[in-house]
């Protein structure tokens, strides 16, 4: 089992902490988010410490800070050369991280989501998938992405998740307005999509389009929906927004 630390203990870190603690790893989390850290201590017996104490007690360190505060927090810390680092922070390149965390130089970037602790969360890994595979597979598939610019585009697509949830929330609210039953409207809307996606097998590059076409056949309301979204500019807006996020992340710079 590994000694694992978390700098930053929020919405993204907590599911990883629970997943790793349940598999017997020795986990220590930073006290910067006190309520979440103490909840993890109570539920999973993890240790809570200062940021520097987390580093001193860990061999693998997850950096889970908000990017705009990461530099100030990390600047106050002393890393060891043998630390293995995993960053989940968007927009901070490997070169920047190596400079901030020197002399530690073994750094991997990934993109976890909150459902990781239940399994089924794909984890892009750049530049080396080995540490993530050892910690999170096979429950969560690890996708090697050796090129940093391509990894940043995974971050851009990951940003679709809250966008899709926003659209689903709109659909659920619309259904509630029509039925007068808000709870069941939201339950139906969420399960409609999660159940459908869970039933899809992995590995076919054209599968999403094939499943769409199987539903959106001539004369169906499914086709009316897909055409309405296209005619309304939803797809072009999505592509433009993805490109803007990709530009913001700056490729591999």
Mean pLDDT of the chain: 92
What burial class does residue 81 get, using C-beta atoms within 10 Å of its C-beta: 0-12 exposed, 13-18 middle, 19+ buried?
Answer: exposed
Q: What is the residue extent of each domain of the chain? A: 3-145, 160-249
Question: CA–CA separation, 133 vs 153, rounded Å?
Answer: 21
Q: What CATH architecture is 3-145?
A: 3-Layer(aba) Sandwich (3.40)
Return the bridge partners of 62, or none: 6, 86
Those residues with Cβ within 8 angstroms of residue 192's Cβ, 6 or more apart along the chain or in another chain: none
pLDDT recorded at residue 208: 86
pLDDT recorded at residue 139: 96
Q: What's the predicted TM-score (pTM) here?
A: 0.84
pLDDT recorded at residue 101: 96
Paired tokens of 4:
């694992």
**Low-confidence residues of the chain, pLDDT below 70?**
202-204, 251-253
Residue 251, Cβ neighbours under 10 Å: how many?
Answer: 14
Q: How many residues does the chain have?
A: 253
Q: List the alpha helices (DSSP H) in the chain.
A: 13-22, 34-44, 51-56, 67-75, 94-101, 130-136, 148-158, 160-179, 182-198, 207-215, 221-231, 234-249
Which tens digits make up the pLDDT trace of 49-85? 999 999 999 999 999 998 888 989 999 999 999 999 9
pLDDT recorded at residue 203: 63
The residue with tokens 């999505």 is 238
């Amino acid at each position: 089992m590994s000694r694992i630390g978390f700098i930053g203990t929020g919405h993204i870190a907590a599911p990883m902490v629970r997943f790793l603690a349940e598999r017997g790893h020795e986990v220590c989390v930073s006290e910067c988010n006190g309520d979440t850290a103490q909840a993890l201590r109570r539920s999973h017996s993890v240790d809570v410490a200062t940021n520097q104490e987390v580093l001193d007690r860990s061999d693998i360190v997850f950096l889970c800070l908000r990017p705009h505060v990461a530099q100030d927090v990390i600047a106050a810390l002393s890393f060891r050369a043998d630390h293995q680092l995993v960053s989940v922070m968007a927009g901070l390149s490997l070169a920047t991280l190596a400079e901030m965390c020197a002399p530690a130089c073994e750094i991997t970037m990934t993109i976890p989501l909150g459902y990781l602790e239940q399994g089924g969360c794909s984890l892009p890994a750049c530049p080396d998938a080995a540490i993530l595979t050892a910690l999170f597979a096979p429950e969560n598939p690890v996708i090697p992405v050796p090129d940093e610019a391509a990894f940043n585009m995974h971050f851009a697509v990951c940003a679709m998740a809250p966008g899709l949830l926003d659209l689903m929330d709109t659909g659920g609210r619309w259904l509630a307005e029509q039925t007068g039953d808000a709870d069941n409207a939201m339950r139906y809307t969420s399960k409609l999509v999660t159940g459908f996606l869970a039933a899809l097998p992995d590995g076919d590059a054209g599968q999403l389009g094939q499943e769409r076409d199987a539903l959106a056949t001539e004369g169906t309301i499914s086709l009316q929906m897909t055409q309405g979204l296209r005619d309304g500019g939803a797809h072009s807006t999505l592509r433009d927004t993805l490109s803007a996020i990709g530009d913001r992340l700056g490729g591999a710079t």
